[in-house]
Structure 1
Amino acid sequence: MSLRRIWTALKGAVNEGSEAVADSQSIRILDQELREAKAELKACDENLTKIMAKRKLVESKVQALKADVETYSTHAINASEKGDNALALECAERVTELETQLETERSILDGFLNSETTLKGNITQAKTNVRRMEQQIDQIKATESVQKAQVAVSSRHMGANSKIKTALDSLDRIKNKQEQRAAELEAAEELASEETDSSLDAKLKAAGIKPGGEVSGNDKLAQLLAGREKA
């Protein structure tokens, strides 16, 4: 392999490693941002609760001022009907003061209601985004875990197949050696048997016992004469 190809392969491995580190770092960053977002949402809920509490107080004050306006308005009318104009005028002035306060409190109440509505909408949208981010992060983590498990299983499977192939190759070599050894032993036995048979045949032939052995002329003549007499 050329140096250029080696360098390219090394660069590829480094890039893959850098990307893996960056991906892992990105997930940690998202986790941290998610925790911070949840903390901010918790603070928003607390602020919303405070705003709602203040709005309720203002609502109570508005209702109390409206009741006072009606009460003193009734007093002013009653005093005027009885001819007590001074008292009627004093009650009317009180009604004017209460209406001014009521207008101010209604303005404050509208501000609280608008803030509450806006904040509720923003919090709802933020919570939706946070849940979506959390779901995506969980899905990414789950997919990463599954893929790592698949890679591990695949690697073990490939390794197991390689080991099995090596073992089978070893078995084949052992079988071949055993067959070769068996054939050699069989050949050796055949050679030993042939040598034994040859040695025995030679002894028999020399003794004239086995056909094909050496026969003297006298023996042969006796065989011929014996055969003629029988005829």
Structure 2
Amino acid sequence: MSTWSKIFTAIRGGVNEAAESVADNQAMRILDQEIRDAEQSLRQARSDLAGIMASNKSVARRLEENRAKETKDSDSARSAVSAGRMDLAQGLAQRIATIRSEVQRDQEELDRLLPRQQQMLRTIQDTEARITQMKREVENVKANESLLKAQSAIAHSQSGINTRLGSAVESLERIKKRQEMTAGRIEAGAELAALENGNDLDRQLREAGIGGSSQSADDILKQLMAPGGSGEQLLLPAPSAKAY
């Protein structure tokens, strides 16, 4: 296959795909229009059938009337023969012949139209049943289409919600990390300040039990009351006796 043939085939394939895509997107509209067209054709067929049935009834009615005339003229002709009126009998016989010719023609037409009438009636009934079934299927397809659209919308919305929730969780984690870093910087600043003013060294000495720790009033009182304690040094000496 030449290059130009391949390109032409590819273009044809693209056109067919585009046409099928358009047809799929407009499937419901096309199907509704096809059903409307079928119903219009059905109405026309009913009208044609009504015309055929009216024509058949007219022919059948004329056939019945002619047969009644033939019977009457036949009786009259026999009466004329009995009465010796051959002239009247001859005239009646001629009219009977004409009536029989019309009866034959009408009967042939009726025999031709009645099968067609029955065939059209069956076709119309079958078409009505098919259109009714098609309408039910179309309603089911439309209901399913609406349901699929709703489910698709829900799935799309759920996907968006999950995406937004995932983004929110990531933002929350970033906030937590930033807060931890801020708290760490504050603690580090406090430690640096303590080192600068010596408070940290005093704290470490107290924790090690080194240095002049202050005593409470209770500790001092215990020292004063202890025998031989340093409290004796705090007593004032007694006054000496005067010589007279």
* TM-score bracket relative to the smaller structure: 0.5 to 0.7
- What residue in structure 2 maps to residue 45 of structure 1? 46
- What residue in structure 2 maps to residue 111 of structure 1? 112
- What residue in structure 1 maps to residue 230 of structure 2? 227
Deviations 1:3-32 (A, max 9, x none): xxxxxxxxxxx89x8453342355554444
Q: Which moved more, 1:145-154 or 1:126-135?
A: 126-135
Cα distance between partner residues in 2 of 1:145 and 1:128: 26
Code of the residue aligned with 2:74 in structure 1: it is S
Question: What is the DSSP-based 3-state SS (H/G/I as helix, E as strand, rest coil) of the residue aligned with 2:84?
Answer: coil
Cα distance between partner residues in 1 of 2:231 and 2:112: 157
Greater helix content: 1
Code of the residue aligned with 1:178 in structure 2: it is Q
> Structure 1 residue 198 and structure 2 residue 193: aligned?
no
| 1:181, distance to aligned residue in structure 2 (A) | 3.2
> Structure 1 residue 176 and structure 2 residue 177: aligned?
yes
- What residue in structure 1 maps to residue 217 of structure 2? none
| 1:56, distance to aligned residue in structure 2 (A) | 1.4
TM-score by length of 2: 0.65
List alignment gaps of at least 5 residues for structure 1: 1-13, 203-209, 214-222
Cα distance between partner residues in 2 of 1:163 and 1:83: 117
| 1:76, distance to aligned residue in structure 2 (A) | 1.5
Cα distance between partner residues in 1 of 2:128 and 2:231: 134
Cα distance between partner residues in 1 of 2:118 and 2:50: 12
RMSD: 3.6
Question: What is the DSSP-based 3-state SS (H/G/I as helix, E as strand, rest coil) of the residue aligned with 1:83?
Answer: coil
Over 3 Å counting, the alpha-carbon distance change for 1:46 and 1:228 in structure 2 is closer
Cα distance between partner residues in 1 of 2:100 and 2:56: 19
- What residue in structure 1 maps to residue 59 of structure 2? 58
Rg bigger for which structure? 2
% identical aligned pairs: 31
- What residue in structure 2 maps to residue 23 of structure 1? 24
Deviations 1:24-55 (A, max 9, x none): 35555444433332222221111111111111
- What residue in structure 2 maps to residue 91 of structure 1? 92
Cα distance between partner residues in 2 of 1:138 and 1:195: 85
Cα distance between partner residues in 2 of 1:228 and 1:131: 122
TM-score by length of 1: 0.68
Code of the residue aligned with 2:51 in structure 1: it is K
Moved over 6 A (4+): 190-197
Cα distance between partner residues in 2 of 1:211 and 1:34: 107
- What residue in structure 2 maps to residue 121 of structure 1? 122
Cα distance between partner residues in 1 of 2:170 and 2:176: 10
Cα distance between partner residues in 1 of 2:213 and 2:119: 128
Cα distance between partner residues in 2 of 1:168 and 1:51: 79
Over 3 Å counting, the alpha-carbon distance change for 1:228 and 1:153 in structure 2 is closer
